[in-house]
Structure 1
Amino acid sequence: MSGTKVEISTITTPKIAHSALQFWALFFALCLAVLCQAWYGSGYLLTACAFQLSYGKIYNLYPIKWVFLIALALFEIGSLICGAAPSSVGLIMGRVVAGIGSGGLFAGAILLVAEFKPLNERAFYNGMLGAMYSVASVAGPLMGGAFTERVTWRLCFYINLPLGVVTAVIVFLLVPNNYDSGRDSRRGLPLKKKLQEMDLYGLVVLVPTIICILLATQWGGTKYSWGNARIIALFVVGFVLFVAFVVIEIWQGDRAIVPPSLVKRRTVWACSIFSFCLFGSFLVVAYFLPLWFQAIKGDTATESGIHNLPSILGTTIFSVAAGGMVFGLGYYTWACILGSVLAAVGAGLLSTLEVDSNAAKWIGYQVLYGAGCGFGLNQPLIAIQAALPDFQKSEGTAVVIFMQTFGGTIAIAVAQNVFNNKLVSNILAAGIPVDPAALLSVGATKLQGLVQPQFFGRLQLAYNDSITQTFYVAVATAGLSMAGSILIPWLSVKQAVAPEDAETANTVMPFQHPSSDVDLAMPAILRQSGEIASEDSQSSDIEKVPRNNEVSTYDSQTSEVEKSSVGSTNRKVESIRN
């Protein structure tokens, strides 16, 4: 087999010719867009989550450049409305508009990188984008608190405007028009047909489904009790709408927002489970660790941000490092598994923090946890790029990002309920003369003013125990993410495998580095040479591999196995020698 040679231009050649300066200017702009979206994402999380899946379909039907710019424009308009809002109604409307635009920014940034960089280089750049997203998610709320305390809350939204303008100008100038016109045959359809392809029925049902579920999880146990009629009604309506959405998606087939053929792919559902759980863990720590510094160490919002730097730097450094290692090794599944393990251990150690814990502990625990999130969070997006054909990449990316956001929302809601219930019970058990409702309504920086000095020590102990209990939620979700990580197929970003066949590539030797002469990603070729068995235990997409110079290609739209000549594909075999 040492003489096998395969055409791998599709793996190592970008779709858009560019200079290094052009790409780095564009990449800087994309980082700004991700920063804008993530740094105050909680302000419009509801609508962003509701519309994220629809962007997967929209990016398929229309040019990526223009969809991204329109999403950015909506986000900027919404931010402007929020900043200038004279009332709460105006603020809500602005957050709705900003959320609709926000839903398409991160996915668009990932897809634009994919157009400028070949598959074998994307892990590094996606790692940098992911690092930016993670940093903004952690530092954003702290910056928002500082703006509110020292300047005005309106700056939380106005700051997006200049960053968005810079991003829009660079993307407009550097991304060619219509370069991806051949990406999907549906691009040339008339408007009426495109609207049919967008699955408007599914969208109309999906948005209220997500809103009902998110409102129920956010309000339950905090604003209303879990037994409140409003919460029960939201769950019931959300469940009924979800069932209706599933029925519509099955009926729509490949027109669906979430095509059934996409959901059946192991990479998609395994990455979705992993992203849902690990990002949920990440947001729980990102939200409650600053509260620990403020309540237990007496930090201001700014000081808690500084003390949170080990987590931020750990996530950033290891995210970029993981991207470089995936680029070098070719495989990404190991990073997901390692990320799950390190995050679970790190969150477990954070749950042991006490009132008198020294800096060595809270710094070391943060670095370990940040390393886990850095290794794992961005790999699912690379997995989608490696495993799916071009016409499903945008939909697959949208699904993973949606599950990531949705998981974070659910995990935060669960952790908030754990915190509230534990704090109330601790206050009552300790006999502290303070109204629990008043305690929950004030910020963690104002605890000393609520009780007499002799009770403050007990209040700190109660608060510490309540916050560390939320880290058990982070431990559980990080641990559950392991189930998704071990199910992600061992595919390589260096393998010249046709997208339709990617998930069926043999995965029995995940650590063997592909050489320049041997393409281990071509199971059909290897089987013809008699070196591996024809049974593929990793996937059911291909039932058998014919011989006599033919390979089986799974058509994800028709679920039929067609035969095609090896010579008609872009994988050209010059010679096969045993």
Structure 2
Amino acid sequence: EANQQAEELENTLLTGYKLVAIMAGLCCCVLCISLDNTIVATTIPRITEHFDSFADAGWYASAYLLPTSAVTLVYGRIYTFFPIKWVYLTALFLFELGSLVSGVAPSSTCLIIGRAISGLGGGGLFSGSLIIISQCIPRHRRPIFSGLIMGIYGIGSVIAPPLGGAFTDNITWRWCFYINLPLGAVTALAILFALQSTEPIMKAPWQEKMRRMDPLGILTFLPAIICLLLALQWGGTTYPWANGRIISLFTVFGILLLCFIGLQVYAGEKAMLPPRLLRGRNIWGSALFGFCLNSAIFIFVYYLPIWFQSVKGASATESGVMNLPLTLSNALLAMGSGLLVTAVRYYYGPVMLLSAGLTCISAGLLTILHPDSAAAAWAGYQVFFGLAAGLGIQLPVFVVQTTLPTADIPTATALMAFVQVLGGAVFVFVGQNVFQNQLVAGLLHAELPAELDVQAVLGAGPAGLRAIASGDTLVMLLSVYHDAVVRTFFVAVGLAVASVLGAGAVEWRP
């Protein structure tokens, strides 16, 4: 019965103006959630000044990313047992409600609550957009449309920081959240009137749905992910790694993760993440590939601007512009890769290996940058890396949408979205700790003048080095910063190498 329902749902395809309306709505929605990931990066100083809330600065981003990471995989199960149209609209409502609360927030606490509400909705929108494509686009055309969605996501990530800065400087930081309201309205209208309301992929009585939603799995999985991300965020910064809070968070994470794995094995087909899916080499290989590749991208996107600001003396805005060769090339090839895999008749394995191999080479080239590197070097290496990673970043989703039965697509799509979100979140924190540890170690071994201590250098930040030092002292500080950033880049190189293992597991057949 489930297979029959799946085939009926798969035949609900869109053409003409309805397809255009749906794609326009999905693009607006994906643009919103990609903006929300990083748009606050340039507005945090103004927000903390407005609310006198410097201690809350880290939560303005984390309050969104934590629930997003935690609920992404859960949404895969919800999309399986409930009508996709109404689940998507519910997630969109939560996202928009959170944006409204954040925009009108009278206090820092209210803003954090709004960001958390947005995260609860945002966790279901990216995977939901890809699931909708899988239900209304024929299999042979899905890579093209999914590639468009991935490209829009990449473009949103590119324009978010400068857009946030423009709103903050020229209007108000509140427009960083208000902008989601009209874009969300376009999406809501498109989904309401152009997307046919269908039966759930898996039909079952209400009580059976609740059992197959795997409530015990959810109750162990959500707190496990939150404990992991909190430990990584606080460890080495807010608290020392040996602090009891950090040790407790890692311990609870480990216990809950073991419980979750045991519950999934015991529940079988009724599990939130059926073990049958993970036994397929295409699925676990694609998940490993996506996790490693996206993590490597995040490290370069976050830490290349630090290199530009410190070593090259760029301003925050200039560093964002200097990072465009990577982000734009990545987004453009992400959009075009759907055409490529269609042309090679869905042989994903070789394309994944090509992407992983080129990513290894280009990531390695970025580690040989030096303080005197010309623009042709740092821009060219970024373009090389952006194209290499952009070629592969959307392939895990393509594998899911074109090789699995329709009934498995929501859960597997959510899994691919989850591992990419989790990888980015985890390795941004890992990179932060590697960078800070290397920077402090380098400063402690440097022969700083008497009037300059380690805390003064750290307090100045990458953009303030030239205000506190000059001459040989400045050259020494720039060398220390350069070495710390390059050590962080080596983490990305290791991830790129690990992505080869995932790519090698994917079968060489359509």
Residue matched to 1:19: 15
**Percent same amino acid among aligned pairs?**
39
Deviation at 1:142, TM superposition (A): 4.5
Could you report, residue by residue, the CA deviation over 1:181-238 in whole angstroms, capped at 9, with x for unpaired residues?
Answer: 263233xx23x33222211111111111001111111221222221111111110011
Residue matched to 1:298: 313
Partner amino acid, structure 1, of 2:19: F
The answer to whether 1:386 aligns with 2:402 is yes
Deviation at 1:113, TM superposition (A): 1.2
- Over 3 Å counting, the alpha-carbon distance change for 1:438 and 1:260 in structure 2 is farther
Contact in 2 for aligned 1:127/1:320 (Cα 8 Å): yes
- Over 3 Å counting, the alpha-carbon distance change for 1:478 and 1:143 in structure 2 is farther
Range moving further from structure 2, 21-30 or 347-356:
21-30
Could you report, residue by residue, the CA deviation over 1:18-58 in whole angstroms, capped at 9, with x for unpaired residues?
Answer: 33333233212212211211223252111101001110100
Partner amino acid, structure 2, of 1:391: A
Could you report, residue by residue, the CA deviation over 1:493-517 in whole angstroms, capped at 9, with x for unpaired residues?
Answer: xxxxxxxxxxxxxxxxxxxxxxxxx
CA distance in 1, matches of 2:233, 2:406: 36
Q: Structure 2 residue aligned with 1:39, among 14, 35, 40?
A: 35
Could you report, residue by residue, the CA deviation over 1:42-99 in whole angstroms, capped at 9, with x for unpaired residues?
Answer: 5211110100111010001111111111111111111222222233321221121111
Q: Structure 1 residue aligned with 2:213, among 198, 203, 220?
A: 198
Please list every run of 5 or more consecutive structure 2 residues that lacks an aligned counterpart in the other structure: 1-5, 39-60
Contact in 1 for aligned 2:435/2:485 (Cα 8 Å): yes
CA distance in 2, matches of 1:450, 1:82: 37
CA distance in 1, matches of 2:231, 2:123: 21
Residue matched to 1:82: 102
Partner amino acid, structure 1, of 2:413: T
Contact in 2 for aligned 1:146/1:302 (Cα 8 Å): no
SS in 2 for 1:298: coil
Residue matched to 2:487: 469
The answer to whether 1:120 aligns with 2:130 is no
Contact in 2 for aligned 1:145/1:301 (Cα 8 Å): no
CA distance in 1, matches of 2:460, 2:208: 53
The answer to whether 1:177 aligns with 2:205 is no
CA distance in 2, matches of 1:92, 1:263: 36
Partner amino acid, structure 1, of 2:294: F
Contact in 1 for aligned 2:229/2:426 (Cα 8 Å): yes
Deviation at 1:299, TM superposition (A): 2.4
Residue matched to 1:408: 424
Residue matched to 1:309: 324
Residue matched to 1:276: 291
Q: Structure 2 residue aligned with 1:251, among 263, 266, 270?
A: 266
Residue matched to 1:28: 24
Contact in 2 for aligned 1:340/1:372 (Cα 8 Å): yes
- Over 3 Å counting, the alpha-carbon distance change for 1:444 and 1:172 in structure 2 is farther
SS in 2 for 1:326: helix
CA distance in 2, matches of 1:242, 1:365: 39
Equivalence map 1:113-152=2 (5 Å): 113-148=133-168, 151-152=171-172
- Over 3 Å counting, the alpha-carbon distance change for 1:166 and 1:404 in structure 2 is same
Deviation at 1:158, TM superposition (A): 2.1
SS in 1 for 2:439: helix
CA distance in 2, matches of 1:131, 1:420: 32
CA distance in 2, matches of 1:40, 1:114: 25
The answer to whether 1:337 aligns with 2:333 is no
Q: Structure 1 residue aligned with 2:85, among 56, 65, 69?
A: 65
- Which is richer in helix? 2
Residue matched to 1:564: none
Deviation at 1:427, TM superposition (A): 1.9
CA distance in 2, matches of 1:49, 1:166: 25
- Over 3 Å counting, the alpha-carbon distance change for 1:149 and 1:132 in structure 2 is same
Please list every run of 5 or more consecutive structure 1 residues that lacks an aligned counterpart in the other structure: 1-9, 493-578
SS in 2 for 1:205: helix
Could you report, residue by residue, the CA deviation over 1:410-464 in whole angstroms, capped at 9, with x for unpaired residues?
Answer: 2111111111011112222222354444544555333333445663332222222
Partner amino acid, structure 2, of 1:297: K
CA distance in 1, matches of 2:374, 2:448: 26
Equivalence map 1:471-486=2 (5 Å): 471-486=489-504
SS in 2 for 1:65: helix
Partner amino acid, structure 2, of 1:162: P
Residue matched to 2:370: 354
Residue matched to 2:474: 456
SS in 2 for 1:285: helix
Bigger Rg over Cα: 1
- Over 3 Å counting, the alpha-carbon distance change for 1:438 and 1:198 in structure 2 is farther
Structure 1-normalised TM-score? 0.78
Could you report, residue by residue, the CA deviation over 1:141-177 in whole angstroms, capped at 9, with x for unpaired residues?
Answer: 4443454455543332222222111111112111112
- Over 3 Å counting, the alpha-carbon distance change for 1:177 and 1:86 in structure 2 is same
Partner amino acid, structure 2, of 1:332: Y
Residue matched to 2:446: 430
Deviation at 1:102, TM superposition (A): 0.8
Root-mean-square deviation over aligned CA pairs: 2.2
Residue matched to 1:153: 173
Residue matched to 2:238: 223
Partner amino acid, structure 2, of 1:334: P
Equivalence map 1:507-546=2 (5 Å): none
- Over 3 Å counting, the alpha-carbon distance change for 1:437 and 1:265 in structure 2 is farther
Q: Structure 2 residue aligned with 1:377, among 393, 403, 408?
A: 393
CA distance in 2, matches of 1:432, 1:164: 53
Contact in 1 for aligned 2:13/2:137 (Cα 8 Å): no
Partner amino acid, structure 2, of 1:37: I
Structure 2-normalised TM-score? 0.88
Partner amino acid, structure 2, of 1:389: P
SS in 1 for 2:466: coil
The answer to whether 1:265 aligns with 2:261 is no
Range moving further from structure 2, 452-461 or 63-72:
452-461
Range moving further from structure 2, 149-158 or 66-75:
149-158
CA distance in 2, matches of 1:476, 1:107: 27
CA distance in 2, matches of 1:464, 1:38: 29
Deviation at 1:283, TM superposition (A): 0.5
